[in-house]
Structure 1
Amino acid sequence: MARKSTGAGPTIDPADFTEKIIDIDVSAEMEGSFLEYAYSVIYARALPDARDGLKPVQRRILYQMADMGLRPDRAHVKSARVVGEVMGKLHPHGDTAIYDALVRMAQSFSLRLPMVDGHGNFGSLDDGPAAPRYTEARLAPAALVMTTGLDEDVVDFVPNYDNKLVQPEVLPAAIPNLLVNGASGIAVGMATNLAPHNLIEVIAAARYLVANPKAALEDLMRFVPGPDLPTGGKIIGLEGIRDAYRTGRGSFRTRATTRVENVTPKRKGIIVTELPYLVGPEKVIEKIKEGVQSKKLSGITAVTDLTDRSHGLRLVIEIKTGFNPEAVLEQLFRYTPMEDSFGMNNVALVDGQPRTLGLREMLSVWVDHRLDVVRRRCEHRLAKRQERLHLVEGLLLAIVDIDEVIQVIRTSDDAETARGRLRSVFDLSEPQAEYILELRLRRLTKFSQLDLEKEQAALTEEIAELMAILSSDARLRSVVSQEMADVARIYGTPRRTILLDSAGAGVTGAAGAAGLAPTRGSAVPLEVEDTPCSVMLSATGLLARTAGDEPVLRDDHRHAHDVLRSVVATSARAEIGALTSRGRIIRVSVLDLPSLPPTQGAPSLSGGVPTIEVCAVDPGETVISLVSLAEDAPTLAVGTATGVVKRVARGDFPAKDSWEIIALKAGDTVVGAAAVADDAELVFISSEASLLHFPASAVRPQGRVAGGMAGIKLGAGHQVVFFGAVLPDDGPHAVVTVSGSQDALPGTQTGAIKVTPFEAYPAKGRATGGVRAHRFLKGEDTLILAWVGVAPPHATGSAGQPVSLPEADPRRDGSGVVLAAPVHAVG
């Protein structure tokens, strides 16, 4: 190039540049460039190969990690190192894309069978991973069978981007990765979205296809009933899945796995343990808050995320009192991602061309790939073993006449001459002669010859086996099928996703082992209906309500159960009162009490709530009985420990949370209560074993502030141990008394028990001493427990275990039968 010299320095002569402008058609250039770009995206980036189910970047990551020796039994290395190796040798694109692909292959919530074992923060459904310099990675166990055999010429290798290295065109892939882990990607003019499946089910279908190459789609669907998502959940509606298996396109709905529990003694909640595929808890919480604010969702008071590494996903959605959890759950499915849709679009590369594949086509491509891999592996091993056998045979010939071999070599001028003389004298091939020349003297021992003969026999047997496999298609298919079975046994896991068809019935047939359940029935009202129910108080202090208007009692002594102290008939949205030992009534909402299903029965009350959780009682104060607050209910009769009785009219109850119904004297407490009309009999039993009953009409109703009137006359140092009522229409009644000693510690003495018909006790006037109800044995001086109620009675110990009662004794003043264990309550 000519330069002109000036005082300022050399300059470039413009004449040295020759103008060259090429006229091109813009539309043609755009069309050609766009096609090149589209081709690159489709074939080298976005779509997986149907044989190994991997995109190029995923395949290169696994190959490079295997080449680096990052096996599961080796230490983790920095993810940045893996990304750098892949980017520098095989994938000349951004490190972000490589790391994103590496992270996804390590996430157990993204892949059904992760291929990378990640160490560190690899992200969650709501948060991204840490930077590659902070995380570490190595191959997961399942990735080993994806890359095993690469050194045995089982697949073709192609040059890398700069033609300096080679990389596999496809991995051997002993796992049907396309179906097991699925795939998603957006190319130019097309996209793919494959759902994950269960490895055991897919391999079972593949083995059936290996044995029956002409198997129909319906036969394969007996083994693969539907997707198996990494996060579990439920799939609703299988018709779309059948369409996808038939045509390659379809959709299905996924639902969260939930259950209803008592999150507090007064409130129920929906517990979410599994969410739809790729839906995170933060996204669900955000949608719930938006729905509550926009009034689309009702009956929700709070949402708490209790997810942790130890217990997994746990999302607690608290329900307002009075709302039906099942109805709220239906709202959540409708307005939040707790129910999501998944569109299946099974597009993958087959012979270098994008195709939409059904279930049978995807299985056929992978089965054909495995047949080709095993055939090429057998051919490679056969050639290697034949080559080795050829060398072993030549060495055995040389060892037989080793002295002459040594003489030939020593008398030769150079190695080339020695090689030629060995070939001519001993009739050896070129490789055999070369191998003998390289032979070490230590191989010339007698034991070495024995080892060579054993090796010769083993090689001969292996060669025969490999030739038999290559010569028989049935043998080849048997080997492939057995290898598939081994992979399923080692890496397979039980199904996580429950399949529900759209009609509400579980899937049948071979899918029965997949975990099935019926769909929800017809819609339920959002708020709990005001239906009749019964509220029960047990002797152990548990409260609960039933769905029906009467409790279902289990009359069976063979099972541990609680006994009922009080039962009130009411309705679900009503309120009742809890009468305490201090003469107070505490208002209780029936909706705050747990509902027991009718089949569970009342006596166990295992789902009940302790009274202290719903009643604000003071220390030392206990709930004695349940009271109906209905204005038309009969009057309430109460009895105290000092023998006072009082009847209170229901119309005198105020609209307060709690109020007193009797003015107790110092040291006095309420021991019992009952709703009575004038024709009822009021019953007192004292600690001195006296029983008194008289008509309720003998006690006039009084106001709340009154202190009552004398009920029973007590001896010095004695008190009332039972107060109740006998209603005329309730049938036969029984009296149960348990005697003991005043000096014994409470709950330690067994005592003596007696059961007597109530009819054996004559009536006496109010404020009298009554009649003897129990004769004390030696060492006994008091009644520690008494009860009057509808026969037959039941008794329990302190832990709720049943205690057998003796036969009824017609003598009202007889002594009791010694118990084998202490009695805690009778009901």
Structure 2
Amino acid sequence: MARRPATPDLPPEDLVERIVDIDVATEMEGSFLEYAYSVIYSRALPDARDGLKPVQRRILYQMSDMGLRPDRPYVKSARVVGEVMGKLHPHGDAAIYDAMVRLAQPFSLRLPLVDGHGNFGSLDDGPAAPRYTEARMAPAALAMTTGLDEDVVDFVPNYDNKLTQPEVLPAAIPNLLVNGASGIAVGMATNMAPHNLVEVVAAARHLVLHPDATLEDLLRFVPGPDLPSGGKIVGLEGVRDAYRTGRGAFRTRATARIENVTPKRKGIVITELPYTVGPEKVIEKIKEGVQSKKLSGISDAVDLTDRQHGLRLVIEIKTGFVPEAVLEQLYRYTPLEDSFSINNVALVDGQPRTLGLRELLVVWVEHRLVVVRRRSQFRLAKRLERLHLVEGLLVAILDIDEVIQVIRTSDDADTARARLRSVFDLSEPQAEYILELRLRRLTRFSRIELEKEQQQLVEEIAELQAILADESRLRGLVSDEMAEVAATYGTPRRTILLESAGGTSITGAPAARGATAPLEIADTPCWVLLSGTGLLARTATEELPARGDGARRAKHDVVSASVPATARAEIGVVTSQGRIVRVSVLDLPGLPPTDGAPSLSGGVPLGEVVTLLPRERVVGLASLAADAPTLALATVQGTVKRVTSGDVPGNRDAWEAISLKDGDEVVGAVAVRDTDELVLLSSDASLLHFPASAVRPQGRSAGGMAGIKLAAGQRVVAFGSVPADAVADAVVVTVAGASGALPGTQPGSAKVTPFEVYPGKGRATGGVRAHRFLRNEDALLLGWVGAAPAWATGSAGQPIDLPPVDQRRDMSGTALSAPVHAIG
């Protein structure tokens, strides 16, 4: 190619083409690494401190900056997306809106951070366009952003260096563990399961006060994930592996029960699905299975889900097929049983790391310590600055005439400022503040206010200095704030944890996975057992489970109530509202026979066989046989009653066993004979026992009679009975603590005493003291009486050691290692 001639203005060498040879492999490697770095650090992976990806953090920060608090009106989602895109996140609006939608979906997050108004999608359908939906911050988002104006985190420039944004949010909520995370980066991915806020905070508080706590210590508080959709987790080994190494897997199952969908046909009713599984996907897989002959015995599958009753997926079973066997096929071939792989990858100090449970908690706890320390330093500086101005103002008010004279005789403001500093020995800020003083501040009342403010500032400064100077006080403050967050935003656990696949909690389902259910079950004698965590099951034989053996410690849960029955009989479930609900024993899963005590993890949750009213709970079991002993009930207001077993309506599924007064509820129910001793324990640690013969049996409509005389403000916390021939073997277990503490967070103290050391008294008397309170204890939290030995468990069924038997009646308890949920 011919070269153009040079011009007089430019030298010839500047007009020659310059071609630089670049190795394609080197260029692709460098460009790909830059792309991978951007995806990993700026898009796909959450920060371990606040559990948020950059786009999520920017959404919450921008909504906070816009003032979209939960008590403010909703605004169009498109407006929020536009503000985030224009100021902080220069990427596509679709990506921003998708992230905001996920923050608002209660089936995606255990604790939603955005309050969405409109169609924000479902597990089977996407959301409406942002111009049709509205949003504002959810209450929990306030805890994530509170303190941003107090220099608690570092701010970094936005994409064009015109604005700043927080590097991380203060995050008073352990968001990464509570809401989980999912993301695919380059060469790595993250997939974290949601957890229960109350459990995670309890573990974090333990770690704050005990920095050397081991993983085993923390597992007492966090037994497993708590999924937004509920359901069941089958097998906890994978969960424990993930807590140790950051990687693991577990299987989730739908919550199902077998009902009569028509007078002559049974069906399987699904009320909770595995995490991220929608009903349309399940129905589609069922149709494919029926067409391919993998599934048999199914006549129809109908989705009856609505906003009033929630999820309800009904699978009708053909006549002649056993529903339990069909259900096992559904678990095998449909998403009614799904797997979840845990891969806890998050950014720590800007580096992606795979973290176990303890490491995740340590990162969040250290972040909260830094946030509270920086907040305290900021507040201390502000209060010192304000105190300095208040002291100068008080000087001026005490000699206000001279101050006015100095100002009036000055030529200008600079001269007045200098003369004020010279005459009254003031600093520059104090003199400037006095010059800007309004005349109405010179009143006598204003001086009193200033003196009060000065005193308050001095006290607050001393408190802040003490917090910054003492690490233990700082940790105590962080722990208290964690407890406040758990009390404000915490909710009960939704997901049931089952130790193994054999521990199915489906009504009547076979214990072994894939086993064929028998067509007919013999009407053999058995026992129906109620566990401390609310699981119902029946034994395989008429023998009660063995107790007192060493193997019992390794088993799941405790037996809180038991009643004899037969496999085809019915029993009654006694509730706190004084109702007896009829339950078919055949609907309860049978526990496999073992050499020792069977594992109660194979039971079915009460909610799957009993429909309870709001704030109603189960307090005992009752036999409906005509020759059964009478049923004794006690209420929190001290009333006792005996009901004859033959007084059972034959055509009703539920009926009242006692007429309750306003505000009263049943605290316990046991089967007794005339020779048995009835035992009541009150919240002020009084124990009263008297013969059951002192309470005559009454009809269902009666309200009972006085059982124990209660002091003002006290209530009955436990009720039981001791057979006449078992007095020597019976023990009394009492657990004391602070009545104002958050339930399930304080271990308290326990005492185990022989029943024989408590003298009997007449009915309607006050009883004798059974537990002496320690410091910070003012109430009896739990009580139990029964045959030794007694066992205690936590909320997840984990064993908790009780102290040895103490022969002294009126003594204090021994501190427990963890909160007790049930005794049996």
Using the size of structure 2 for normalisation, the TM-score is: 0.62
Q: 1:188 aligns to what SS in structure 2?
A: coil
Name which of 600, 605, 619 aligns with 2:570. 600
Specify the alignment match of 1:786 in structure 2: none
Name which of 314, 317, 329 aligns with 1:316. 314
Specify the alignment match of 2:7 in structure 1: none
Long gaps (5+) in structure 1: 1-13, 507-514, 532-546, 553-595, 609-792, 803-827
**Contact 2:196/2:493, CA 8 A, preserved across alignment:** yes
In the aligned structure 2, how far is the partner of 1:249 from the partner of 1:492? Answer: 26
**Contact 1:505/1:517, CA 8 A, preserved across alignment:** no
Name which of 433, 444, 447 aligns with 2:445. 447
Specify the alignment match of 1:242 in structure 2: 240
Does residue 214 of the first structure (1) align with residue 181 of the second (2)? Answer: no
Specify the alignment match of 1:118 in structure 2: 116
In the aligned structure 1, how far is the partner of 2:135 from the partner of 2:465? Answer: 41
Q: 1:518 to 1:448 in 2, by over 3 A?
A: farther
Residues 54-82 of structure 1: per-residue CA shift (max 9 Å, x gap): 00000000000000000000000000000
Cα offset, 1:522, TM superposition: 3.0
Specify the alignment match of 1:42 in structure 2: 40
Cα offset, 1:25, TM superposition: 1.5
Cα offset, 1:421, TM superposition: 0.8
Cα offset, 1:356, TM superposition: 0.3
Q: 1:526 to 1:407 in 2, by over 3 A?
A: same
Which letter does structure 1 place at the counterpart of 2:191?
A: N
Q: 1:606 to 1:444 in 2, by over 3 A?
A: closer
In the aligned structure 1, how far is the partner of 2:651 from the partner of 2:298? Answer: 39
Does residue 521 of the first structure (1) align with residue 491 of the second (2)? Answer: no
Residues 4-51 of structure 1: per-residue CA shift (max 9 Å, x gap): xxxxxxxxxx99975332221211111111111011000000000000
**Contact 2:224/2:239, CA 8 A, preserved across alignment:** yes
In the aligned structure 2, how far is the partner of 1:549 from the partner of 1:471? Answer: 71
Which letter does structure 1 place at the counterpart of 2:410?
A: S
In the aligned structure 2, how far is the partner of 1:289 from the partner of 1:526? Answer: 22
Name which of 265, 272, 279 aligns with 1:274. 272
After TM superposition, the structure 1 stretch with the greater mean CA deviation from structure 2, 406-415 or 366-375, is: 406-415
Cα offset, 1:598, TM superposition: 1.6
Specify the alignment match of 2:387 in structure 1: 389
**Contact 2:246/2:345, CA 8 A, preserved across alignment:** yes
Does residue 286 of the first structure (1) align with residue 256 of the second (2)? Answer: no
Specify the alignment match of 2:258 in structure 1: 260
In the aligned structure 1, how far is the partner of 2:142 from the partner of 2:446? Answer: 36
For 1:462-541, list aligned pairs within 5 A.
462-502=460-500, 504=502, 520-522=510-512, 529=519
**Contact 1:500/1:519, CA 8 A, preserved across alignment:** no
For 1:713-732, list aligned pairs within 5 A.
none
Which letter does structure 2 place at the counterpart of 1:186?
A: I
Q: 2:249 aligns to what SS in structure 1?
A: strand
In the aligned structure 2, how far is the partner of 1:518 from the partner of 1:434? Answer: 82
Identity of aligned residues (%): 77
Which letter does structure 1 place at the counterpart of 2:91?
A: H
Q: 1:247 to 1:528 in 2, by over 3 A?
A: closer
Cα offset, 1:322, TM superposition: 1.1
Does residue 230 of the first structure (1) align with residue 228 of the second (2)? Answer: yes
After TM superposition, the structure 1 stretch with the greater mean CA deviation from structure 2, 475-484 or 14-23, is: 14-23
Q: 1:606 to 1:246 in 2, by over 3 A?
A: closer
Which letter does structure 2 place at the counterpart of 1:271?
A: V
In the aligned structure 2, how far is the partner of 1:480 from the partner of 1:211? Answer: 10
Which letter does structure 1 place at the counterpart of 2:511?
A: G
Specify the alignment match of 1:166 in structure 2: 164
Specify the alignment match of 1:63 in structure 2: 61
Specify the alignment match of 2:177 in structure 1: 179
Cα offset, 1:599, TM superposition: 2.2
**Contact 1:375/1:470, CA 8 A, preserved across alignment:** yes
Specify the alignment match of 2:52 in structure 1: 54
In the aligned structure 1, how far is the partner of 2:131 from the partner of 2:53? Answer: 24
Which letter does structure 1 place at the counterpart of 2:433?
A: Y
Name which of 293, 301, 304 aligns with 2:302. 304
Cα offset, 1:360, TM superposition: 0.2
Q: 1:422 to 1:121 in 2, by over 3 A?
A: same
Number of residues of Structure 1 aligned to a counterpart in Structure 2: 538
In the aligned structure 1, how far is the partner of 2:494 from the partner of 2:654? Answer: 39
Cα offset, 1:518, TM superposition: 12
Specify the alignment match of 1:327 in structure 2: 325
In the aligned structure 1, how far is the partner of 2:285 from the partner of 2:381? Answer: 63
In the aligned structure 1, how far is the partner of 2:190 from the partner of 2:502? Answer: 30
Cα offset, 1:412, TM superposition: 1.0
Cα offset, 1:795, TM superposition: 13
**Contact 2:502/2:513, CA 8 A, preserved across alignment:** no
Name which of 143, 147, 150 aligns with 2:148. 150
In the aligned structure 2, how far is the partner of 1:155 from the partner of 1:550? Answer: 67
Long gaps (5+) in structure 2: 1-11, 527-565, 573-579, 585-645, 656-824
Which letter does structure 1 place at the counterpart of 2:78?
A: A
After TM superposition, the structure 1 stretch with the greater mean CA deviation from structure 2, 396-405 or 54-63, is: 396-405
In the aligned structure 2, how far is the partner of 1:19 from the partner of 1:58? Answer: 48
Using the size of structure 1 for normalisation, the TM-score is: 0.62
In the aligned structure 1, how far is the partner of 2:648 from the partner of 2:172? Answer: 66
Cα offset, 1:502, TM superposition: 1.6
Name which of 97, 100, 103 aligns with 2:98. 100
In the aligned structure 2, how far is the partner of 1:18 from the partner of 1:73? Answer: 68
Specify the alignment match of 1:409 in structure 2: 407
In the aligned structure 1, how far is the partner of 2:197 from the partner of 2:93? Answer: 31
Q: 1:551 to 1:264 in 2, by over 3 A?
A: farther
**Contact 1:324/1:525, CA 8 A, preserved across alignment:** no
Cα offset, 1:505, TM superposition: 5.4
In the aligned structure 2, how far is the partner of 1:405 from the partner of 1:133? Answer: 61
For 1:583-662, list aligned pairs within 5 A.
597-600=567-570
In the aligned structure 2, how far is the partner of 1:521 from the partner of 1:331? Answer: 14
**Contact 1:72/1:140, CA 8 A, preserved across alignment:** yes
**Contact 1:111/1:182, CA 8 A, preserved across alignment:** yes
Q: 1:105 aligns to what SS in structure 2?
A: helix
Cα offset, 1:550, TM superposition: 11
Cα offset, 1:198, TM superposition: 0.2
**Contact 2:256/2:506, CA 8 A, preserved across alignment:** no
After TM superposition, the structure 1 stretch with the greater mean CA deviation from structure 2, 161-170 or 322-331, is: 322-331
Name which of 433, 436, 442 aligns with 1:435. 433
In the aligned structure 1, how far is the partner of 2:452 from the partner of 2:581? Answer: 76
Q: 1:189 aligns to what SS in structure 2?
A: coil
**Contact 1:498/1:517, CA 8 A, preserved across alignment:** no
Q: 1:51 aligns to what SS in structure 2?
A: coil
Which letter does structure 1 place at the counterpart of 2:450?
A: L
Q: 1:42 to 1:551 in 2, by over 3 A?
A: closer
In the aligned structure 1, how far is the partner of 2:471 from the partner of 2:402? Answer: 48
Q: 1:280 to 1:524 in 2, by over 3 A?
A: closer
Q: 2:104 aligns to what SS in structure 1?
A: coil
**Contact 2:324/2:508, CA 8 A, preserved across alignment:** no
Q: 1:151 to 1:103 in 2, by over 3 A?
A: same
In the aligned structure 2, how far is the partner of 1:142 from the partner of 1:253? Answer: 29
Specify the alignment match of 2:360 in structure 1: 362
For 1:727-738, list aligned pairs within 5 A.
none
**Contact 1:323/1:526, CA 8 A, preserved across alignment:** no
Which letter does structure 2 place at the counterpart of 1:362?
A: L
